[in-house]
Amino acid sequence: MKFRIKAKLADADGMRRTLTRLAHEIIERNKGSKGLVIVGMQTRGVHIANRLKDLIHSIDGGEVPVGVLDVTLYRDDFRLKFKQPQVQATQINFDLDEKSIILVDDVIYTGRTTRAALDALMDLGRAARIQMAVMVDRGHRELPIRPDFVGKNVPTSIGEEVRVRVKEVDDEDAIYLVEMEDLNGEEQPDDA
Amino acid sequence: MTPERVKGQELSSRHLLGLEGMPGEEISHILDTADALKEILDRPIKKVPTLRGVTVVNLFFEPSTRTRLSFELAEKRLSADLMNFSKTGSSVSKGETLLDTAQNIEAMRIDVVVVRHQCPGVPGFLADRLNSVIINAGDGAHEHPTQALLDMLTLRQKFGDIKGLKVAIVGDIAHSRVALSNIYGLKALGAEVMLCGPPTLMPRGAESLPIKVCHDIDEAISWADALNVLRLQLERQKSGFLPSLREYHMTFGITMKRLEKAAEMPLIMHPGPMNRGVEIESAVADSGHSVVLDQVTNGVAVRMAVLVLLSAPEVKLT
């Protein structure tokens, strides 16, 4: 699908500052990093999760384990959206029981992906609590879901989309606001 | 975030009738999906809601333990609803035809048919006549695609890559659907394939295929990275293909003594059920070189992958 860049919302420095603030907020709210685990959602949430882990370590010295979650199998549009799904790996090599989970994604939009992630996490263990950290909240929630830690609040229209790019997959760290040009195409924009 | 679609990573058929003609990328895609799904089997709650509301019927006209249980488990792990049909105790014994049976079951509004039948071509026959997704769980001596896929998944886990791997298929090739599916799949992924067995159990025209044929088990053992040892169907002796099971064991049985002669021990696979003391010695079957039980675990993951990839209907959101 074609899109046009409308604005650059953050560059690498901006992203680093925002992530640093998020790491401080996470530690403040949880009174340290003890008992915390981070779960990043495929694909870009995983890289953001790893950076938060490093930042938390540099702030209070704690080692927070990072897991990877793919919610494809839990999506409510599984039978509508894909002709054939692309299932990626879920890798959580630690116990979730009685832990405080920080669920990390790049963008929150309708909240449906988060709903799927919550269901997946419930199946994986009984956490003490689940909090959510996102790089960008672009509004338009369709479910009663609210992130606990937000990097940037970006009011958007339905025809726009927020692209968080990370250098591990996209060769640069940046956040863009883009406008979709072909909404009648086969694929709908990501409801991250 | 929706994973990006990679071109070629989509199955071109809505059925899985066999591996004949399936491109290597599609086979790899199924194996990649199986790898991602395998983790579910080790969870405390071994279930995901993916196929909620999808109804699968397991249509087994031929006896099967492993394959039927494996499909059944895969369906349950994905939250599909399932029905089991077996020939005994059904209206087939009253003379109902295959097509009538299948159409009647489909009229109950099912989505996927997993079929095992003694006649080659039955899955294709049903695919032409039913609206459901058809998955071949073994048709006569033709194909058994999910078995070959789980064999390849096991090989890929043990060796990392199948390209260039030397795989010898040993035993009753002529009557084996496992052999044929493995040949198609392994060739598509770039492996070298050798068939080894008595000439009476070698399919006619095997020499014309781009595969090696040999009748000396020691040669096969020293050549191969992995041996896929087929079950010798005990009926074959009665039909005159073999002088005796004992002689078969002496000439083609996989024994520790034979394996120890090889410079490097090959990996031992077997689709089951094993005839211990005929095609494979107990000491080999229970040794560290045997991956028979890994194959069974991988079987569930592969069948989950096939179901996930084929069960999502073609509905476009526009």
> Residues 6 or more apart from B250 whose CB is under 8 A from it?
none
- HSE-up (13 A, CA, CB side) for residue B96: 17
- On whether the pTM is more than 0.80, the answer is yes
For residue A183, the chain B residue with the least C-alpha distance is B318
Determine the residue type at A144. Answer: P
pLDDT over 70 (residue B7): no
Token pair for B243: 């002088």
Minimal Cβ distance to B10: which of A84, A113, A185: A84
CA B110 from centroid of its chain's CA atoms: 24
Whether B42 has its CB under 8 Å from any CB of chain A: the answer is no
In order along its 192 residues, chain A shows pLDDT tens digits of 678 999 999 999 999 999 999 999 999 999 999 999 999 998 899 999 999 999 999 999 999 999 999 998 888 776 555 567 788 888 999 999 999 999 999 999 999 999 999 999 999 999 999 999 999 999 999 999 999 999 999 999 989 999 999 999 999 999 999 998 765 544 444 544
> Residues 6 or more apart from B208 whose CB is under 8 A from it?
none
Q: Give the integer Cα–Cα distance in Å for A24 and B168.
A: 59
Whether A28 has its CB under 8 Å from any CB of chain B: the answer is no
Asked if the peptide bond before residue B273 counts as cis, ω within 30 degrees of 0, the response is yes
Domains of chain B: 24-143+297-311 (3.40.50.1370), 145-291 (3.40.50.1370)
Q: What is the pLDDT of residues B75-97, one digit of tens each?
A: 999 999 999 998 887 777 788 89
List the one residue out of A178, A106, A166 whose CA is nearest residue A136: A106
Domains of chain A: 3-74+88-180 (3.40.50.2020)
Contact criterion met (CB < 8 Å) for B314 and A83: yes
Contact criterion met (CB < 8 Å) for B312 and A124: no
List the one residue out of A117, A110, A153 whose CA is nearest residue A132: A117
A86, A106, A187, A190, best to mutate vs chain B, most B CBs in 10 Å: A86
Whether A123 has its CB under 8 Å from any CB of chain B: the answer is yes
CA B30 from centroid of its chain's CA atoms: 13
List the one residue out of B308, B285, B259, B254 whose CA is nearest residue B75: B308
pLDDT over 90 (residue B3): no
Q: What is the pLDDT of residues B29-66, one digit of tens each?
A: 999 999 999 999 988 889 999 998 899 999 999 988 88
Inter-residue contact A156 to A191 (CB < 8 Å): no
Contact criterion met (CB < 8 Å) for A73 and B308: yes
Please report which confidence band the pLDDT of residue B267 belongs to, taking 50, 70 and 90 as the band edges: very high
List the one residue out of B150, B231, B152, B142 whose CA is nearest residue B191: B152
User: For residue B303, what are the CA distances in angstroms to A47, B74, B114, B140?
Assistant: 31, 6, 10, 19
Minimal Cβ distance to B1: which of A41, A119, A123: A41
